[in-house]
Amino acid sequence: MVRMAQQDDDSTWKTSTRGEQAWKEARERVASRNAEARKVGKRDREAYERGRENARQAAAARRHAELLRRRTP
């Protein structure tokens, strides 16, 4: 049978504030980069969708103009 070593309640181990601070800063940097990436992605998608919509409207206008030309004798 394997047993865990007993730990004393008065152990001297404490968290490293420098280590925790570094971890928090790294986490904040990642969160900041992710937020910026989301903003850039949203702007790019909106620009792409605007371009698609403009192209769709231009194609519809061309089709409509062609139909009007065919109707007039």
CA distances for 29 relative to 26, 40, 73, angstroms = 5, 16, 68
| Threshold 0.85, pTM exceeds | no
For residue 2, the model assigns a pLDDT of 62
For residue 28, the model assigns a pLDDT of 96
Write the pLDDT tens digit of every residue in 10-45. Answer: 666 566 778 889 999 999 999 999 999 999 999 999
For residue 56, the model assigns a pLDDT of 98
For residue 24, the model assigns a pLDDT of 94
> What tokens does 58 get?
């231009």
Higher pLDDT, 20 or 5: 20
